[in-house]
């Protein structure tokens, strides 16, 4: 039995279109395939763990004797967003997609928002986060009205300049919006998007983004682990994604680099349970912005970090690496997430090596394996592979 599991989600690191990708408008997408040929890409250490040995991965060179066990996971839920992906990783299926608003939000909802918060609304369309502040930011400065926008994901995003709406006030407004956005309007996330600057040419989003998620409608592995007395440490936006449900300790980060530093520090700490880490920059800074070079360089940073982390691991530790969806930076049809398989790499000093676990249906494979590894009885979506990777 393991003492500590480090589960790292490379947010949006898909490895090829799922069979139903055309239904999502994502035929032929492949996040890994898009970046693997770029000169900035480095993946040797991920390769040693088995990344290029996974079913359906045709880029990179398969490793002769991988140190890790590896699988390709197919999503069972009806969606391709962060909330649904993480919930499924934690063992909770979403058979119905969360609501989206491709034509903007209905006026009755915006009227209720204005009545509750006291703020008028600008935009109310699907929009790129960087373009929306360029196009509406100056009007926001003049009028004080909030920039409300959405995307193909189930999100209600509120952008405000920090000189007009202080960040803590923006968070308060988002919390009020979260109270409104329930039932048929129950989007997965309300997102605070603060920015700075005094004109369109220099408007810049800050790192003080904050997500206000729906509360998961049922227990996840986090709740089961917590009930069993195990630590549940959320790094990055894990607390936000699960609305704090089942998360015992939260460590917020400003991006991938800080997330990796925090994870390394956790490896030096004594605890028994799960460190659940989200590295958001892959998605937020590179996938949605269709930045192939930036995405490749971010993977190179993670790959370079891996050997030192593995060296810090204790005999009873397990490292798991996965993703929550795709966001192919080379795909030009949209700038949204892409419906892709995700990798599942598992390494531990006491685990078997080089086990090809094939293709598994349901990201909940991870939740069940985590709970099995930590000796916690489980009854969640998906099936554990722990027995297949133990010596």
Same fold, 4-94+216-389 and 107-213: no
Tokens of 285: 């800074």
Q: Above pLDDT 70, what percent of the chain?
A: 100
Per-residue model confidence (pLDDT) at position 391: 76
pLDDT digits (tens, 9 = 90+) for 306-325: 999 999 999 999 999 999 99
Closest CA to 274 of 248, 245, 312, 253: 248
Domain boundaries, the chain: 4-94+216-389, 107-213
Diameter over CA atoms, the chain:
66
- Residues of 7-34 as b/e, b for ≥16 C-beta within 10 angstroms? bbbbbbbbbbbbeebeebebeebbbbbb
Per-residue model confidence (pLDDT) at position 358: 98
Region 107-213: CATH code: 3.30.70.1250
As a whole number, mean pLDDT of residues 193-204 equals: 97
DSSP string of 199-256, one letter each residue:
SGGG-EE-S--EEEEPPPSS--HHHHHHHTT-EEEEESSHHHHTTTTT-SEEE--SSH
pLDDT digits (tens, 9 = 90+) for 61-98: 999 999 999 999 999 999 999 999 999 999 999 999 99
Q: Above pLDDT 90, what percent of the chain?
A: 98
Q: What is the pTM of this model?
A: 0.92
3-state secondary structure (DSSP) of residue 93: coil
Mean pLDDT over each residue of the chain, to the nearest integer: 97
CATH label, 4-94+216-389, candidates 3.40.720.10, 3.40.190.150, 1.10.1060.10, 2.30.30.90: 3.40.720.10
pLDDT digits (tens, 9 = 90+) for 137-191: 999 999 999 999 999 889 999 999 999 999 999 999 999 999 999 999 999 999 9
């Amino acid at each position: 039995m393991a003492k500590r599991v480090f589960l790292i989600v490379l947010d949006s690191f898909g490895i090829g279109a799922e069979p139903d990708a055309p239904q999502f408008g994502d035929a032929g997408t492949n996040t890994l395939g898009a970046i693997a040929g770029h000169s900035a890409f480095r993946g040797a250490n991920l390769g040693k763990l088995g990344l290029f040995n996974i079913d359906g991965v045709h880029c990179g060179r398969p490793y002769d004797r991988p140190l890790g066990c590896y699988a390709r996971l197919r999503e069972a839920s009806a969606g391709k967003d962060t909330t649904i992906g993480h919930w499924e990783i934690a063992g909770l299926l979403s058979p119905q997609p969360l609501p989206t608003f491709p034509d903007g939000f209905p006026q009755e909802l915006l009227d209720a928002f204005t009545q509750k918060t006291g703020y008028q609304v600008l935009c109310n369309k699907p929009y790129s986060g960087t373009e929306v502040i360029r196009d509406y930011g100056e009007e926001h400065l003049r009028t004080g009205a909030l920039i409300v926008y959405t995307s193909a994901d189930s999100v209600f995003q509120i952008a405000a300049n920090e000189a007009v709406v202080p960040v803590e006030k923006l968070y308060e407004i988002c919390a009020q919006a979260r109270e409104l956005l329930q039932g048929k309007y129950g989007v997965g996330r309300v997102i605070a998007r603060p920015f700075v600057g005094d004109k369109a040419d220099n408007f810049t989003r800050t790192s003080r983004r904050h997500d206000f998620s729906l509360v998961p409608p049922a227990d996840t592995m986090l709740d089961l682990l917590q009930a069993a007395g195990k630590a549940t440490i959320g790094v990055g936006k894990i607390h936000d994604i699960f609305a704090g449900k089942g998360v015992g300790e939260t460590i917020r980060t400003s991006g991938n680099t800080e997330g990796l530093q925090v994870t390394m520090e956790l490896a030096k700490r004594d605890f028994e349970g799960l460190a659940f880490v989200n590295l958001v920059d892959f998605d937020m800074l590179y996938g949605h912005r269709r930045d192939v070079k930036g995405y490749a360089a971010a993977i190179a940073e993670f790959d370079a970090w891996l050997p030192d982390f593995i060296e810090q691991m204790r005999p009873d530790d397990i490292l798991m690496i996965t993703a929550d969806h795709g966001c192919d930076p080379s795909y030009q049809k949209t700038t949204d997430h892409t419906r892709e398989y995700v990798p599942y790499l598992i390494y531990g000093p006491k685990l078997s090596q080089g086990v090809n676990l094939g293709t598994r249906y349901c990201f909940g494979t991870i939740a069940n394996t985590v709970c099995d590894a930590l000796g916690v009885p489980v009854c969640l979506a998906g099936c554990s592979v722990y027995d297949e990777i133990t010596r």
